[in-house]
Amino acid sequence: MKGKLLRAEGDLANIIPIHLDASFFFERAVRSLDRNHVDKALKYFRKAVEYEPENPVNHCNMAGILSEKGDYEASNAILANVLDVVDPSMTECYFYMANNYANMDRFEEAEQALVTYLEEDTQGQFMTEAEEMMELLYYELDRPAKLNRIKSRKGVVEHDHARELLEEGKFAQAAELLEGMPPDYPDYLAVRNNLALAYYYMGQFPKARETIAEVLEQEPGNLHALCNLAIFHQNENRTDQVLLLIKKLRVIVPFQQEQVYKLATTMGILGQHDTAYVHFRRLLKAEETAADPALAHYAAVAAFNTGRYDAAERLWHHVSKLDPGSEVSPFYLSRLKAVQQDELQPENLSYHYHLPFDEQFKQWENYGNGIPEEMKNDPLIRSSFFWALRHGDRATKLQVIHALGMIGDYEVQQALQSFIQESDEQQDLVEAAQSVLNELLATEQHSERSRAVLPLSTVAARSIQNAAISAEGSQTESISHWQAVVDRALQMTETKAELQQEMERIWTDYVSRAHPEMTAMKHIEGWAAGLEYLAAKIHRRPVTYQSVADRYGISASTVSKYAKQINKVCSTVPPTV
């Protein structure tokens, strides 16, 4: 008996005890998956979660198996719980959720989850897969996703958007976006170069030079900065500095196409047409840019300005083939013919890919109704106007002021206002700009009064007026600008009476509280957009910063900025706006 007991005790001594913990069930789950026993694996992962409920990995593994089994709803419920309760930093869960939604053909929700992943995830572990899914969603929804940023790429989306704004002539919006770019953005010097251009186009020359100086201090040979600085100096008649930079730029032979293009256009603007022609010809030989009609036109202009008339003729005929509907090449071919037949004196041509301003104005007058709509919204035309307003001769500036009056949108009003405030402009130009601006504002106010919109309540009007009167500075200016905010918001929501009443209430409250610090509004569109966003939130309407921004033609960050500023004073909606 005793011996049997000893044997029994010996047997027990050789048994390895089983520790039932999360690791044990995790390994069992993995082993089951290897054997394709999916149901067993799911059961073991559930047990692992029971033992370690705070471990998000086990939750995600369980969600992954449910997804493989086709139970996408249950999978997303687990992933949502991870983000809400277990570990909100597990941003990859948004990517998993996007996959599940896509498998359920719920593409709107898939897009929302994917955008959240891209905007919040710092590592970019699934960037390649996310880009592929973005293409799928673009195909299914027939529109691009409203993506404000890709966090793992540190500002790439914001920088691209800023560059688009620059090309569209929306310099103030571009500057606002570029100013907010973090210094750790990988291409930060390019950001500063573009910011310098935005400042320059807005006429803020000291800030433009200061920004370029920062770039050159960090990278003395930065080609974009050197080119920008040379153009800045030329337009400020700093001949000695321009000549020094031309000497430096003439010997540079860049290989990247973007840099070749920058150098070519810069040398053309600086009057170095021979050098510009060489670089433009290089670009036309490249497969990626050979079919660009604007580039072929630039090469033709450089050829014409250097007396290479045969080459210019061939290039403009090439432009006609690349862009058959354009009036540019026929116009310049006729001018070239007139020069060759001694009917016209040769003068250096501009590198802009459009008709000369005087020719454009003649054509627009023939329309009878001013500038055609498609031309008003043409980014190249708009940016050319803003450029000419700053750097053209007196006659060109007068023509441009008249043309801008025919466009008359918010960006135009801002440009004219900035032009008027420049102390070194000729008095007659300032008076012409002021006259056009006054007409635009008067037309806008009349248009708003004639619309079938809910009028601003008497209480709101009184609050705004009283606030303006109690503030320092010009009473009239404050009243008109603060009134303009709610007028603009009402105009944009003219068929939504409930929203209009809410906006009036919020704005009345804000003005009455903020009046001691009141100054004239500098960004009416931003304030109005923020006001509309808050009103929509209160009435639980589906709204995002981006959806409002798109309607007002501004950035989502601008809507967010002004909405939060109003809400900070009024506490209209919870602070998560």
Prediction pTM value: 0.51
Helix (H) or strand (E) segment spanning residue 193: helix 188-201
The C-alpha atoms of residue 319 and residue 297 are separated, in whole angstroms, by: 6
C-alpha to C-alpha distances, 134 to 108, 127, 138, 144, nearest whole angstrom: 12, 10, 6, 8
Which pLDDT score is estimated for 299?
Answer: 95
Q: Express the helix, strand and coil content of the chain in percent, nearest 5 each.
A: 70, 0, 30
Positive or negative, the Cα torsion across 348, 352, 358, 363?
Answer: positive
Dihedral angle at the C-alpha atoms of 570, 573, 574, 577, nearest 10 degrees? -100
Amino acid at 64: G
Q: Which residues of the chain have pLDDT under 50?
A: 1-13, 15-17, 152, 368, 448-480, 516-520, 575-577
Which pLDDT score is estimated for 214?
Answer: 92
- 8 A C-beta contact, residue 115 and residue 147: yes
Which pLDDT score is estimated for 123?
Answer: 66
- 8 A C-beta contact, residue 335 and residue 379: no
Coil, strand or helix: which one is 550? helix
Which pLDDT score is estimated for 354?
Answer: 77
The C-alpha atoms of residue 329 and residue 542 are separated, in whole angstroms, by: 48
CA 524 to chain CA centroid, Å, is 19
- 8 A C-beta contact, residue 382 and residue 168: yes
The C-alpha atoms of residue 551 and residue 549 are separated, in whole angstroms, by: 5
Picking from 154, 148, 111, the residue whose alpha carbon sits closest to that of residue 555 is 148
Q: 527 φ, ψ to 5°?
A: -60, -45
The C-alpha atoms of residue 227 and residue 279 are separated, in whole angstroms, by: 14
Q: What does the pLDDT look like over 542-561, one tens digit per residue?
A: 778 888 888 887 777 778 88
The C-alpha atoms of residue 451 and residue 454 are separated, in whole angstroms, by: 9
CA 550 to chain CA centroid, Å, is 10
Burial class (CB in 10 A: 0-12, 13-18, 19+), 389: buried
CA 523 to chain CA centroid, Å, is 17
For domain 22-142, the CATH superfamily is Tetratricopeptide repeat domain (1.25.40.10)
206-340 matches 22-142 in CATH topology: yes
Which CATH number applies to 206-340? 1.25.40.10
Helix axis angle, 188-201 to 156-167, nearest 10°? 30
What 3 state SS string does 85-135 have? HHCCCCCHHHHHHHHHHHHCCCHHHHHHHHHHHHHHCCCCCCHHHHHHHHH
Q: Domains of the chain: which residue ranges?
A: 22-142, 206-340, 373-420+428-442, 454-570
Picking from 46, 161, 103, the residue whose alpha carbon sits closest to that of residue 553 is 161
Quickly name the fold that domain 454-570 has: Cyclin A; domain 1 (1.10.472)
- 8 A C-beta contact, residue 283 and residue 295: yes
Amino acid at 343: E
What the block records as the tokens of 560 is: 């967010």
What the block records as the tokens of 375 is: 């031309």
The total number of residues shown for the chain amounts to 577
What the block records as the tokens of 14 is: 């050789």
